[in-house]
Structure 1
């Protein structure tokens, strides 16, 4: 019998739909998909200093999910529809998988603002029914921002639902606990990689983000009193060994291990109390 999955930690990488951008923003100008993306990015740089195109124009090209047990152990990590990376299949597997595993808690970093809206809009685009996600259940409704039953956004947790800002994002909080964070690739490079057909590299980048998110999740569970620091340290070591076992067959895991550093605990190690002296001792 398969082990029960209690949490699904995921990350989405997406690319712009150039045909949609051309139709919506530059209708009648005859721009190709590539030209429309480049034109829009130039405008965004001028306005905001970034080439990042809003999620409404994006489609998922890689979704990686870590399956987590109720005791916070890593069960497995999967990349949906690899190596084909078909957006409609990725979207179908994403939502059907959530239902198949009994609707476990989604866990993301900034997923409330980006990852889940991308996947909801993809379901809309491809005509995929996700009725359980839209269930109306008062405070516990899955899409209720302030209920974490269905979705725990770690960025919202660490910023008190946006009352503060998390300058530095996942990269910063990962490095706070000595995990690799961003390495050779950043999110703004994904579009170029997709244009060059480097979908496996995109998936590898996504895997590393999921690992960072998992380790941030573990420390968040310590902070929230749901586990202990001692247990977290054990889980981190178990996961390091899990990654090591797969590093020869996965470039992403090899790169992650290469960037690995140990978290130096400021707390003295707990020692077992001395054995009680025998009553017969002098």
Structure 2
């Protein structure tokens, strides 16, 4: 029997559609796809200080999904349409997989403003029906921004839906809990990687981002009261072993483990170190000493 999947943690890597950029922004100028992308990126750098092309001009070329059980255990990690990486097939598998598994909760990091919109637009582009995702069910509608049952965006969780900014992004949040974060590749290098034919390397990069997101998800569940810290530590170790058993056949997993650091649990210290000089029942100051007895002062 297929194991129940309650959460689908995913990440999207995409490239600019040069033909679309040429047609929309440089119609009649005779720019080919590569020239159009380069020209647009130059403009974006001058205007915004970044070469990031808006998602409306992009297509997904790698989507990696982690399947997670109701008890938050990692079941599997898959790269859609690997090794062909056909955008229309990736998109079809993405949406049909969500329905086949019973519409689990999507989990992303910044997926509300990028990953899900690009997959919706890809469904529009390729003529793929995703009626279940567009179901109108009031505040319970899957596309309702605050419907965390359908989609939990961890960046929105940590910033109170954009009330603050998550400076440092997934890389910083991952490193807060001693996970690898960004390693050899960053998102702004994906376009060049694709142009160089390094599709597998892009998928590996995406796979590592999904692993980071999984571990951030686990710690978020602790913060929200859905998981104990002790259980999270067990799940992290179980996942680390899962990665290790596959590292001989996957460079991505081997690299991820090489960058792995053990999270130092501040609560995991000998009792003698924290209580030797503290009488039972006495409050402890920030310096770790017992509060002075007011009657004796």
TM-score by length of 2: 0.90
- Please give the alpha-carbon distance, in whole angstroms, between the structure 1 residues aligned to 2:269 and 2:105: 33
SS in 1 for 2:262: coil
Indicate yes or no: 2:4 matched with 1:7.
no
Moved over 6 A (4+): none
SS in 1 for 2:201: helix
Q: Which residue matches 1:98? A: 98
SS in 2 for 1:10: strand
SS in 2 for 1:9: strand
Deviations 1:112-171 (A, max 9, x none): 000000000000000000000000111110000011010000000000000010000000
- Please give the alpha-carbon distance, in whole angstroms, between the structure 2 residues aligned to 1:141 and 1:202: 33
For the structure 1 residues 67 and 270, does the alpha-carbon distance in structure 2 shift closer, same or farther, using more than 3 Å as the test? farther
Deviations 1:43-74 (A, max 9, x none): 00000010100000000000000000000000
* Aligned counterparts, 1:22-41, within 5 A: 22-41=22-41
Q: CA RMSD in A?
A: 0.9
* Aligned counterparts, 1:8-87, within 5 A: 8-87=8-87
For the structure 1 residues 160 and 124, does the alpha-carbon distance in structure 2 shift closer, same or farther, using more than 3 Å as the test? same
* Aligned counterparts, 1:1-282, within 5 A: 1-268=1-268
- Please give the alpha-carbon distance, in whole angstroms, between the structure 1 residues aligned to 2:11 and 2:147: 20
Deviation at 1:17, TM superposition (A): 0.3
- Please give the alpha-carbon distance, in whole angstroms, between the structure 1 residues aligned to 2:135 and 2:225: 29
Pick the structure with greater CA Rg: 2
How many residues of Structure 1 are paired with residues of Structure 2 in the alignment? Answer: 271
Deviation at 1:220, TM superposition (A): 0.1
Deviations 1:69-116 (A, max 9, x none): 000000000000000000000000000000000000000000000000
TM-score by length of 1: 0.95
- Please give the alpha-carbon distance, in whole angstroms, between the structure 2 residues aligned to 1:72 and 1:139: 26
For structure 1, the 5+ residue unaligned runs are 272-282
For structure 2, the 5+ residue unaligned runs are 272-297
